[in-house]
Amino acid sequence: MSGFADWLERIRSIVFRGRDERELAEELQFHTDMDVEQFQRAGLDPAEARRRSALVLGGVERVKEDVRDARGTRLFHDVGRDFGFALRTLAHSPGFATVAILTLGIGIGGTTAVFSAVDAVLLQPLPYQQPGELARLYMADSANPTVRQYVTPVHFVDYRRDMTAFENMAALYTYAETGGDIGSGDDVRRIRVLPVSAGYFEVVRVQPRLGRGLQPDEENGELLIVVSDRLWREQFDGNRAAIGQSLTMSGRPYTVIGVMPPGFNDPLAGDVDAWVPLDLAAARDVDNAQNHYLSVIARLRRDAPLARAQAELNRLSSTLAARYPDANDALARLDPLKEDVVGSADRALQIMLGAVGLVLVLVCVNIANLLLVRGSDRARELALRSALGAERPRLVRQTLIESLTLALAGGVVGIVIAKLAMSAIVALGASSIPRLSELALEPRLLLFSLVLASLSAIGFGLAPAFRAARTDPGDVLREQTRSSTTSGSQMRVREWLVVSQVALAIVLLVGAGLLIVSLRNIRSVDLGVNPAGVLTFEVHLPAARYDSTARAQFYEESARRLAAIPNVTAAGGVSRLPATGNYHVWGTRAMTGRLANTREGAAQAQQRVVSGDYFAAVGLSLIEGRLFDAHDNAAAPIRVVIGRRTADMLFPGMRAVGQQLRAGGRTAEIIGVVADVALDARGEVVPYVYHAHRQFAGNRNWALTQVVRPNGSPEALQGEARRVLATLDPQLVLYKPALLGDVIGRSEAQRVFTLQVLGAFAGVALALAALGLFGVLSYGVRLRSREFGIRMALGADRRRIRRMVLREGLTVTTIGTVIGLVGAVVLSRLLASMVFGISALDPRVLLGAAAFMTLVAAVAAYLPAYRATAAEPRSVLQ
C-alpha cells in the first residue's frame, strides 16, 4: 500500500470528518432499510423485520467505531469526544474552572506583557546594525568624575580629528529648543528637529532611503533637511520628487536632501521628524571649550574594544586639558550606548521581570494546588470508572485533555489580559521608559508562557490520573467510604505549596510597601518651588522673523501680557523648568572673593535663562540683593542672579551680591541671591546661575518655557494664554501646555510606574495565596468533617475546633511569611535604587507586610473553620 496515499486519505477524513460521518450514517441506514425490506418480503411483519435486522447489525455505534478505527481517525474522534467531556465536567464545577482559567490567564497574560516590555526595552533597545559597537561619549571633570556632562563643540571636533579607535562619531544637539514650525496660518504645527553633525547616519548605519545624508562641509547650519518617512508622507504625499524641493520651517526655506526609511528613530531623542546640519562654527571659538551642550555618539572600530577606546580617550584628554587651560580638566568617558539609552529603566524593568516571574511561579503553584484538590476529589470517580472497566490509558488521556482544555482556555484569557496589560504598561510607562511606545505583543513570549502554564496544568493534572491508574481502585473506594483523614503525604505537599505562595506574596508585598513609602517620601520633599496651579507652555520663535532683539522684546512683552490676565499673579519664562533635571551645566568660577581663580572656587552649575517675573511665577524668594529689571538689558553690564548653594560654594562666608563670576564664556556681576531649587524630584540641591534673557538673547535662540501663576484654579487659563499669544503673533504655537506639578512629577513617573505594576502583582499574589490557603483548609475540613463530628458528639467545644483549624492555617502562613521575609531581605538589593528616604530593610515595611498577610490569611481561614463546626454532628456521622 502507498504510505503517502494512506496519510492523505487519513488527513482528508479528519478534515472532512463531518461529511464522512454523515455519509457513513446514511450508508448504514440504507443497509438496514434494505435488510428490513428483505425480511418483509420474506413475510415478516415490519416490527419483527426491524428487530431481526437490528440483531444482524449488532449496534450502529459499534459499527461506526470500527469504521473510524479503519479510517485511522479513531484517536482523533475520541480526543474530540474527550474534549466535549472535559468541557462538560468543567461546566459542572464552574467555581473551579473559573478560578483555574483566570489564574492561568493572569499568569500567561501578565508574564507575556511584561516580558514583551522587557524584550523591547532591555533586550533590543538599539534597532541598528551591530549595536554593540555604539557608544555614548560624555565629558567629566576630576572634581566630579561621576557626573556625566555633555560635550563642548571644541572638544568634539578635536576628538573626531584625533581618535583612531572610532570608525565614526557624531554630535547631536538634543535640546528641546531645536524644534521647528511648519505650515501656515491656523495650521502651524511644531515638529521635532534634530541638528546633527555629518557622520550621524554613518554611526547609526542607517542611510536615507531617498537622497543622501550630510557632508562634513555642510556643518555650518546650512538650510538642508533630511525628513522622516512620516513627514515626507505628510508634506510631500510620499512623492519621490520631494528631493531638492523646499520645505518652509520656522519661516526659513530648507532644501530636502533625504528621506529616512520608515521606522527609523534616533537612539537618544526618540520621535524626531527631521534632521538638519549642526552648526559647528562654535567649535572655532575657544571660549566654547566650557560650553557643554552636545550629545556625542560614536561607532567603535570593529577591532577596537571599548576599553582600548577609553584608554586612547584618556591620553587625548590630557592633551586637550593642556590645549584649553581655561576649560575644566576635561576628562571623557565612554558608555555603551545601550546602557546609556536603557539607563535607569533597566532597574524598573528588572524589578517588573522579577515580580512577574514570582507571579508566574505563584500561578503554577496555584494551578498545581487546584488540580491536586480536584484530583483527590475525583480519585473516587476515577477508581469507580477503572473498576467498571475503563482502560487506564484512556483515563490518563482524558485527564490530560481536561488539563489541556483548562490551559487552552487560560491561554485565550491570557491573550486578552496580555493585550490589556500591554496597553496599560504603555499608557503608564511610555513617558518614563524609552522605546516603550514601540511595544508589541511578542508571539514567542506568548508561546513561552502558554507552554509553561500548560506544563504545570498538565503535570499536576496527570498526577491523580497516574495514581488512579496505579493504585487498586478497591483501596480508594474503601478509603473514601471510611472517610478517614486524607493521606498525610498528599496533605503535606499541599501545605507546602501554600507556604510557597505565602512566601512569594510576602516578597511582592514588601516590594510594593517599600515603593509606596518611597513615593510618599519623595512627594513630601521640599523642592524649593511652589507648583500649585502653575501653567507652563513653550513658545518657540522662528529665527527668520525674530532676531535676538526681537526675541528679547517678545519674551518680556509676553510675560507682561500674561501677567495682565485677570487672576494671574505672575508670569515669566525660563530655559528649563525647575526640578526637571540637568540642563546647560556649565563650569562656573568665582572671579572675585577669597576663592577667585582657585579650584575650590569653581563648580558645575545649572545655567538658566529667565524672562519676565520668573522667580515670583515659580515661587522662588529673593534672599539678598535684587532681581532682574528692565535696566538689565543688552546694553548694561552682564549681571546674574545665583542660587544660595552657588553663593555658599563660590563665595563662602561673604556677601555674594556685588561679587563676580564667570560662566559660559562671560564674566558677570552678581546682583541677587535666591532660594535653592532642587535639581529633580528627589530634592538634590545643586548650584544654579540665572541669566537675564534680555542680556543673553544673542547667545542662541533660547526657547523659553512660559510659566504663569494664577491666583486660584488654573482652569480656562490655557485658553486665555492662547489668546494672549495670538495677539502677539498669530503664527506662534502654544507648545506642550502642562501644569508645573505634572512636569515635575514626570521624573517620578518611572517609580510610580514600577509601583503600579508591583502593586498589581502584589495584589494578585495576595489573592492567590489567600485562595490557596482557603482551598487547602476547606479541603482539610471537608475530609475531617467526620472526625470533627465525632469530637463534637463527644463533647468537644466548637470554639476549640475552630481554633484548631485557624491555628493550622496560621501555622502554614507563619512559615510562609518567615521564608518570604528572608527572601525579601535577600532581594532588597534589587530595590535599593528605587527606594527613597527609607531603608530597603525597613522593619516597619517588613512587619507591615507580615501583618497584612496574616490578616488576609486569618480571613481566608475563618470560613473553613466556621464550616468545620457549622454542621450538626449527627448529620455528619450519618
Partner 1 sequence: MAGEPGELLQGTLEMMVLKTLSLEPLHGWGIAQRIQQMSKDVFLVSQGSLYPALIRMKRRGWLTTSWRVTVNGRRARYYELTAAGRKQLGVEQESWQRASAAVNWVMGARLVPEGGQ
Binding site for partner 1 (CB under 8 A): 1-2, 5-6, 9-10, 23-24, 26-28, 30-31, 33-35, 56-59, 62-63, 66-67, 69-72
The DSSP secondary-structure symbol of 136 reads E
Instruction: Give the shortest CB-70-to-partner 1 separation in angstroms.
Output: 4
Instruction: Give the shortest CB-57-to-partner 1 separation in angstroms.
Output: 5
Cell of 117: 516590555
Instruction: Give the shortest CB-869-to-partner 1 separation in angstroms.
Output: 59
> Which one, 69 or 797, has the nearer CB to partner 1?
69
Instruction: Give the shortest CB-64-to-partner 1 separation in angstroms.
Output: 9
Instruction: Give the shortest CB-878-to-partner 1 separation in angstroms.
Output: 49
Phi then psi for residue 666, to 5 deg, are: -130, 140
For 141, how many CA atoms within 13 A lie in the half-sphere containing its CB?
A: 21
> Which one, 30 or 629, has the nearer CB to partner 1?
30
Whether residue 765 contacts residue 358, with contact meaning beta carbons closer than 8 Å, is answered with yes
Strands (E), 173-250: 180-182, 189-191, 193-196, 210-211, 224-227, 246-249
Instruction: Give the shortest CB-49-to-partner 1 separation in angstroms.
Output: 15
> Which one, 37 or 391, has the nearer CB to partner 1?
37
Phi then psi for residue 494, to 5 deg, are: -70, -35
Q: Report the largest interatomic distance among the alpha carbons of the chain, rounded to a whole angstrom.
A: 134
Cell of 16: 472532512
> Which one, 9 or 720, has the nearer CB to partner 1?
9
> Which one, 70 or 322, has the nearer CB to partner 1?
70
Instruction: Give the shortest CB-47-to-partner 1 separation in angstroms.
Output: 20
* Angle between helical axes of 60-71 and 17-41 (0-180°, round to 10): 140
Instruction: Give the shortest CB-5-to-partner 1 separation in angstroms.
Output: 5
3-state secondary structure of 673: strand
Instruction: Give the shortest CB-9-to-partner 1 separation in angstroms.
Output: 5
Q: Which of 741, 736, 738, 750 is nearest to 271 (CA)?
A: 736
Cell of 478: 474503601
Distance CA 695, CA 688 (A): 17
Instruction: Give the shortest CB-397-to-partner 1 separation in angstroms.
Output: 23
> Which one, 44 or 738, has the nearer CB to partner 1?
44
Instruction: Give the shortest CB-66-to-partner 1 separation in angstroms.
Output: 5
Instruction: Give the shortest CB-32-to-partner 1 separation in angstroms.
Output: 8
Stretch (H or E) spanning 667 = strand 666-674
> Which one, 53 or 575, has the nearer CB to partner 1?
53
Residues forming beta bridges with residue 144, ordered by sequence position: 141
Instruction: Show Cβ contacts of residue 435 under 8 Å, excluding neighbours closer than 6 positions.
Output: 120, 121, 125, 270, 341
> Which one, 56 or 726, has the nearer CB to partner 1?
56
Instruction: Give the shortest CB-75-to-partner 1 separation in angstroms.
Output: 15
> Which one, 75 or 451, has the nearer CB to partner 1?
75
Whether residue 352 contacts residue 117, with contact meaning beta carbons closer than 8 Å, is answered with yes
For 133, how many CA atoms within 13 A lie in the half-sphere containing its CB?
A: 18
> Which one, 70 or 241, has the nearer CB to partner 1?
70
Distance CA 191, CA 663 (A): 31
* Angle between helical axes of 60-71 and 3-15 (0-180°, round to 10): 130
> Which one, 58 or 566, has the nearer CB to partner 1?
58
In angstroms, the Cα distances linking 826 to 818, 821, 841, 850, 851 are: 12, 9, 10, 16, 20
Instruction: Give the shortest CB-46-to-partner 1 separation in angstroms.
Output: 17
Distance CA 377, CA 398 (A): 16
Distance CA 227, CA 697 (A): 29
> Which one, 30 or 799, has the nearer CB to partner 1?
30
Instruction: Give the shortest CB-23-to-partner 1 separation in angstroms.
Output: 7
Instruction: Give the shortest CB-62-to-partner 1 separation in angstroms.
Output: 6
Instruction: Give the shortest CB-58-to-partner 1 separation in angstroms.
Output: 6
Q: Which of 138, 602, 582, 137 is nearest to 327 (CA)?
A: 602
> Which one, 71 or 540, has the nearer CB to partner 1?
71
The DSSP secondary-structure symbol of 544 reads T
* Neighbour tally for 675: CB within 10 Å: 15
In angstroms, the Cα distances linking 685 to 185, 527, 676, 776 are: 44, 9, 7, 54
Distance CA 660, CA 234 (A): 51
Residues forming beta bridges with residue 191, ordered by sequence position: 180
Instruction: Please state the length of the chain.
Output: 878
> Which one, 59 or 185, has the nearer CB to partner 1?
59
3-state secondary structure of 719: helix
> Which one, 1 or 388, has the nearer CB to partner 1?
1
Instruction: Show Cβ contacts of residue 524 under 8 Å, excluding neighbours closer than 6 positions.
Output: none
Cell of 245: 524641493
> Which one, 28 or 525, has the nearer CB to partner 1?
28
Q: Which of 578, 571, 377, 374 is nearest to 460 (CA)?
A: 374
> Which one, 24 or 596, has the nearer CB to partner 1?
24
- What's the chain's Rg over C-alpha atoms? 37
Cell of 301: 572600530
Q: 4-12 long-range CB contacts below 8 Å, 24 or more apart? A: 6/72, 9/71, 10/71, 10/72, 10/73
Instruction: Give the shortest CB-123-to-partner 1 separation in angstroms.
Output: 50
**DSSP code per residue over 580-629:** S---SEEEEEESSSTTTTSSTTEEEEEEEEEEETHHHHHTPPEEEE----
> Which one, 15 or 416, has the nearer CB to partner 1?
15
Q: Is 5 exposed, middle or buried (0-12, 13-18, 19+ CB in 10 A)?
A: exposed
